[in-house]
């Protein structure tokens, strides 16, 4: 097979040892990075080869997604280009569909195989690192698949930002109170750090953005957090979780504990407490489950579908197979609780890669393996600009100090000096200038303008390049996407949309 890359990954005379890394996230990138350093002599001699199979040419620093959604960090700076960082590895943009470890082969689909219509190809390996992470764990909630959106990728984060601002534009221009109400209602399901940080950052951003609307005020926006358990943010402990609930409620965010989403058909979120919220925004962050490729392997899985691993990060009972991160059930040897496993978070993922890479090299060189041992240090979470909670090494912080710690911690963790410098520069600039408040949802449909000009499909066809864009009448995107909206009932030309009495002259100065 010719890889979609500069190097042929299946040449007639394969290198002596091929290490196949499935996944280019935290675990995949850091493991490959450490391996390319430690195996430099072998790589130089051609005795070893590291192949990274991943659907995207970048690693996403997920803890920065909420800030990307809020516009505090550009999307390009929350991702790390794999080809630049892993310059001694072969990067294959594709997806492993199955793994036959008994035969030491993985079935891989690349962009090229799809173009050629040739189907998946088999890629042989000697050592396997399975790090495909997790995907959103959904439940069979009616309407969820049609109207929900997750919050795990940079595309989702930016799509959501554009969508929220677009809802404010719709609310501002419609004369129909029902459309306005649904547009300004935002429902988030799941009170872990992904859901809470995403909601808190977006609410903060939308509250600020409303200054620039003559007829949308912060109190018009309805933010609802739905959590099935009796607390949020378990990662920061019970006290800080309670503080976070108080802080969010003080901002008029409707936090509903011990409540479940029952359905969201026809864009109406129905909760287990009987309440109903017509909404165009339903964000689902209620947990994750292991990536589907694991189920298509002959490797042992636990009851949650994660790879059963040893403390050495090898897959139980399978020589030459290794795993870490969200996809792996790794014993927590620091816990007193029998059978305790490491939680699926970045803190464990990044530390595991150090031991993982060392153990692979040790195995190749016939040396003893080291067990992974790290006791959870605690967590930090942002609740919007200048607001946060933290519980780290037994110390509890809230408000500005916690937010500062959140930024300092993640700045120290985001990979590469290049990204650290860019993120720091952006934070500094955003402290000096006003926030960005535009929706660039049209970027998702770059051909729409030209299609209309060229007399292609008529506006409102609902095709993939169309989107609701007031003024250009580009139509609407498919239901279920963040931009999936019914065309709002706009105020007739020459008539003002309904006003809410806000003083338009306030905050009308241009960006400083
Ligand atoms: C919004 C958000 C905020 C978070 N904040 C924090 C935080 O503050 N602190 C913290 O500790 N943790 C946080 N986490 C969790 C943390 O990001 C994850 O635990 C961590 O990314 C797990 O690393 P991983 O390598 O296992 O998976 P990932 O980083 O998800 O990487 C998996 C990679 O595998 C690829 N892949 C999937 N399937 C295949 C396949 N079949 N073939 C090839 N490649 C495949 C994926 O595209 C991806 O690139 C957050 C997560 C989210 C979503």
In the structure, what pLDDT confidence band is assigned to residue 97 with cuts at 50, 70 and 90?
Answer: very high
Beta strands in 227-362 (DSSP E): 254-256, 261-263, 268-271, 276-278, 281-284, 288-290, 307-308, 321-323, 328-329
Count CA atoms closer than 13 A to 133's CA, side-chain side.
24
Q: What is the pLDDT of residues 137-175, one digit of tens each?
A: 888 899 999 999 999 999 999 999 999 999 999 999 999
- Tell me: pLDDT of 416 over 60: yes
Ligand 1 pocket test: pick from 24, 25, 240, 322 the residue with the most ligand atoms within 8 Å of its Cβ. 25
Is 221 a residue whose pLDDT tops 70? yes
Helix extents (H) in 19-103: 26-38, 40-45, 65-70, 82-85
Better pLDDT: 187 or 509:
187
Q: Which atom of ligand 1 is nearest to the CA of 61?
A: 17
> pLDDT tens-digit profile of 52-91?
999 999 999 999 999 999 999 999 999 999 999 999 999 9
**C-alpha of residue 6 to centroid of ligand 1, in Å:** 27
| Of 223 and 115, more confident | 223
For ligand 1, atom 35: residue with the closest CA? 23
Q: What is the pLDDT of residue 502?
A: 41
- In order of 113, 188, 320, 342, 363, the CA distances from 311 in angstroms are 37, 36, 15, 10, 15
Cα 73 versus chain centre, distance: 14
pLDDT of residue 287: 81
Q: Which tokens go with 364? A: 């190749």
At 508, the pLDDT band (50, 70, 90 cuts) reads very low
Task: Enumerate residues 6+ apart whose C-beta is below 8 A from 451.
Answer: 457, 465, 466
Residues with CB under 6 A from ligand 1: 22-28, 53-56, 62-63, 65, 95-96, 131-133, 151-152, 193-194, 291, 293, 325-327, 344-347, 349
pLDDT at 127 over 70: yes
The pair of structure tokens assigned to 92 is 């294959």
- Give the tens place of pLDDT for each residue, 303-361: 999 999 999 999 999 999 999 999 999 999 998 888 999 988 888 999 999 999 999 99
Q: What is the pLDDT of residues 454-500, one digit of tens each?
A: 887 655 444 333 344 333 333 334 334 444 434 444 444 444 444 44
What is the pLDDT averaged over residues 29-33? Answer: 97
Q: Does domain 17-136+289-364 have CATH number 3.30.565.10?
A: no
How far does the centroid of ligand 1 lie from the alpha carbon of residue 25, in Å?
6
- What sign results for the dihedral spanned by CA atoms 226, 229, 235, 241? positive
pLDDT over 70 percentage in the chain: 86
Other Cβ atoms less than 10 A from the Cβ of 455: the count is: 7
Average pLDDT over residues 394-418: 91
150: its two tokens: 């997750």
Q: Give the pLDDT score at 13.
A: 56
Task: Determine which residue's CA is closest to atom 2 belonging to ligand 1.
Answer: 194
- To test the pocket of ligand 1, the residue of 56, 107, 132 to mutate (highest count of ligand atoms within 8 Å of its CB) is 132
The β-bridge partners of 188 are 225, 283
**pTM for the whole structure:** 0.85
CATH number of this structure's domain 144-286+378-432: 3.50.50.100
Confidence (pLDDT) at 500: 41
What is the structure's pLDDT at 15?
A: 55
Task: Give the whole-angstrom CA distance, residue 76 versus residue 220.
Answer: 32
CA 500, 502, 508 angle in degrees (round to 5)? 135
The average confidence (pLDDT) of the chain is 86
- DSSP one-letter code for 490: B
**What pLDDT, on the 0 to 100 scale, is given for residue 406?**
92
Q: Which whole number is the average pLDDT over 115-133?
A: 91
More confidently predicted of 15 and 158: 158
**Token pair for 12:** 């007639």
Residue with tokens 């139509």: 475
CA distance 330 to 371: 10
Domain boundaries, the chain: 17-136+289-364, 144-286+378-432, 440-483
What CA–CA distances, in Å, run from 347 to 288, 338, 375, 378, 495?
Answer: 16, 21, 10, 9, 55
């Amino acid at each position: 097979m010719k890889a979609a890359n500069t190097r042929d990954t299946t040449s007639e005379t394969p290198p002596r040892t091929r290490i196949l890394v499935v996944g280019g996230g935290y675990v995949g990138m850091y493991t490959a990075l450490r391996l390319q350093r430690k195996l430099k002599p072998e790589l130089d001699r051609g005795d070893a080869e590291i192949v990274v199979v991943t659907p995207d040419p970048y690693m996403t620093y997920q803890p920065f997604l909420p800030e990307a959604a809020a516009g505090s960090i550009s999307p390009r700076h929350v991702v790390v280009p794999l080809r630049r960082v892993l310059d001694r590895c072969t990067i294959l943009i594709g997806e492993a569909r199955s793994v036959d470890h008994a035969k030491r082969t993985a079935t891989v689909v690349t962009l090229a195989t799809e173009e050629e219509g040739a189907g998946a190809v088999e890629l042989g390996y000697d050592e396997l690192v399975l790090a495909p992470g997790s995907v959103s764990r959904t439940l069979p909630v009616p309407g969820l698949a049609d109207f929900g959106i997750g919050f795990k990728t940079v595309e989702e984060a930016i799509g959501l930002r554009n969508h929220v601002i677009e809802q404010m534009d719709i609310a501002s221009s419609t004369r129909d109170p029902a459309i306005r109400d649904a547009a300004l209602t935002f429902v988030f399901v799941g009170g872990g750090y992904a859901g809470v940080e995403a909601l808190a950052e977006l609410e903060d951003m939308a509250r600020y953005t409303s200054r620039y609307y003559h007829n949308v005020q912060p109190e018009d926006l309805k933010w609802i957090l739905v959590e099935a358990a009796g607390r949020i943010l378990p990662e920061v402990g019970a006290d800080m979780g309670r503080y976070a609930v108080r802080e969010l409620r003080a901002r008029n965010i409707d936090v509903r504990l011990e409540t479940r989403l029952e359905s969201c058909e026809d864009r109406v979120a129905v909760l287990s407490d009987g309440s109903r919220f017509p909404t165009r925004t339903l964000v689902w962050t209620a947990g994750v489950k292991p990536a589907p490729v694991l189920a298509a392997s002959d490797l042992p899985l636990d009851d949650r579908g994660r790879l059963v691993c040893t403390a050495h990060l090898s897959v139980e009972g399978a020589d030459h197979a290794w795993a870490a991160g969200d996809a792996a059930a790794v014993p927590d040897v620091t816990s007193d609780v029998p059978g305790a496993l490491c939680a699926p978070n970045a803190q464990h993922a990044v530390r595991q890669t150090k031991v993982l890479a060392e153990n692979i090299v040790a195995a190749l060189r016939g040396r003893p393996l080291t067990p992974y041992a790290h006791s959870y240090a605690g967590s930090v979470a942002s609740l919007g600009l200048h607001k946060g909670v933290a519980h780290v090494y037994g110390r509890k912080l809230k408000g500005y100090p916690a937010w500062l710690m959140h930024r300092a911690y993640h700045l120290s963790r985001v990979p590469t000096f290049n990204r650290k410098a860019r993120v720091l520069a952006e934070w500094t600039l955003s402290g000096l200038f006003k926030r960005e408040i535009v929706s660039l949802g049209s970027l998702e449909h770059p051909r729409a303008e030209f299609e209309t000009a060229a007399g292609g499909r008529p506006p409102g066809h609902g095709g993939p390049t169309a989107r609701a864009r007031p003024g250009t009448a580009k139509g609407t995107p498919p239901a279920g996407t963040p931009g999936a909206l019914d065309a709002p009932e706009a105020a007739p030309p020459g008539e003002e949309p309904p006003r809410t009495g806000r003083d338009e002259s306030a905050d009308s100065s241009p960006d400083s």
